[in-house]
Amino acid sequence: MLIRYKKNYEKIAMGLLSYVPSEKDIKLLLQTIRKYESQDDWQLFLWKDGEDIIGVIGIHTESAEKATIEHLSVNPSFRAEGVGKRIISALMEFLGDKVKLVPSAALAAYYQNCFHEKDHEEAGR
């Protein structure tokens, strides 16, 4: 289940974001979390599985029609189980048809891997 970031989740969110290669430096990580807390066009969501928060996704809204996924991270214990893909799909549903979700350069290969095959499957139905 996708939930909005709140200050109470700061530690878990920072822990998850620290797996993102560009966020290894604690100072940069703090700047990132403050950006999500203070700027309306930067939005952070957490992924809750039962009682556990196991993923995070952050987007930058570029315009009314476009948002870029800037951060995506899944707890290593839950990787390669389709969680990342489910998080993106849930966010797409949350944003609705009018907003096109695009991956950052760092996520392009992963995003392609997740949704390219699906397109083929759907086309083949």
Ligand X SMILES: CC(C)(COP(=O)(O)OP(=O)(O)OC[C@H]1O[C@@H](n2cnc3c(N)ncnc32)[C@H](O)[C@@H]1OP(=O)(O)O)[C@@H](O)C(=O)NCCC(=O)NCCS
Closer residue to ligand X, CB minimum distance, 39 or 113: 113
Q: Does 113 bind ligand X (CB under 6 A)?
A: yes
Residue 110 interacting with ligand X (CB under 6 A): yes
In degrees rounded to 5, what are phi and psi of residue 104? -70, 170
Quote the least distance from Cβ 117 to ligand X, whole Å.
7
Q: Is 42 in the site for ligand X (CB under 6 A)?
A: no
54 binds ligand X (CB under 6 A): no
Cα dihedral 49→53→57→63 (10° resolution)? 80
Q: Which stretch binds ligand X (CB under 6 A): 7-15, 36-44, 82-90, 93-101?
A: 82-90
For the bound state, the minimum distance from the C-beta of residue 81 to ligand X, rounded and expressed in Å, comes to 5
Distance CA 31, CA 121 (A): 40
Is 73 a binder of ligand X (CB under 6 A)?
A: yes
Q: Is 24 in the site for ligand X (CB under 6 A)?
A: no
Q: Does 60 bind ligand X (CB under 6 A)?
A: no
